[in-house]
Amino acid sequence: MAKEDVKENKAASAEGAQDAQPGFGIEKLYVKDASIEVPSAPQIFTERAAPQVNVELGNSAQKLDNGIFEVSIKVTVTAKIGDKTAFLVEATQAGIFAIRNLPDENLEPILAVTCPNILFPYAREAISDMVTRAGFAPVLLNPINFEALYMQQKQQAENAAKAN
């Protein structure tokens, strides 16, 4: 066997071993959807009371291709003064992630915890920016413990399965 053939075989086997290694990568981060409503404008700007702020959060994941997933988090912030809605902001921050050669039991926590942890600061910034541009004081969302949320959802699913 020639030296060149040996080099090619070594390179091919190294490449094959590298392909079998677990891998995680961020392919793209983007705002999938964003909106703001100020239904009581301009009268709401004359109110002096501090708004009551409610935050809702949801996340989802879908497989796009072999080892390629889209993960998104949707944040909805509603602020009310009395019975009037001061503003309603929604932002869906998404990302495309390459996750390769992982056992299925390891994939779910990455999609439900790791990816949302990467996306959340971007969603937080989008929400704060939109609220400020609408003429209100910025809303600074507190950090979210996606691991605790994931464990809570798993526990609820187990309890529901036991109940049935």
CATH code for position 84: 3.10.420.10
Burial degree of 119 (CB within 10 A; 0-12, 13-18, 19+): buried
Whether residue 135 is contained in a domain is answered as: yes
Burial class (CB in 10 A: 0-12, 13-18, 19+), 114: middle
Residue 11 maps to a domain: no
pLDDT at 17: 52
User: Does a structural domain hold residue 96?
Assistant: yes
Note the pLDDT of residue 102.
87
DSSP-assigned beta bridge partners for residue 80:
52, 85
pLDDT score for 4 = 57
Instruction: Identify which of 47, 42, 38, 32 has the alpha carbon closest to the alpha carbon of residue 132.
Output: 38
DSSP-derived letter for residue 52 is E
The tally of CA atoms less than 13 A away on the side-chain side of residue 111 is 22
Give the model's pLDDT for residue 128.
96
Query: Which amino acid is it at 118?
Result: I
Q: Which amino acid, one-letter code, is at 53?
A: V
For residue 87, tell me if it sits in a domain.
yes
Within-domain flag for 114: yes
pLDDT for res 72: 98
Q: Is residue 80 part of a domain?
A: yes
Inside any domain, residue 115? yes
Query: Number of structural domains, the chain?
Result: 1
Residue 15 pLDDT:
52
Domain enclosing residue 125, as ranges: 28-139
Is residue 159 in some structural domain?
A: no
pTM value is 0.82
Tokens of residue 118, six digits:
């990467």
- Helix (H/G/I), strand (E/B), else coil: 68: strand
> pLDDT by residue for the chain (164 residues), tens digit each?
555 555 555 544 445 555 678 899 999 999 999 999 999 999 999 988 889 999 999 999 999 999 999 999 999 999 999 999 999 999 999 999 999 998 888 899 999 999 999 999 999 999 999 999 999 999 999 999 999 999 998 888 888 888 87
Q: From CA 96, how far away is CA 63, in angstroms rounded?
A: 10
Q: In what order do the strands lie in the sheet with 23-37?
A: 23-37, 84-100, 68-81, 52-65
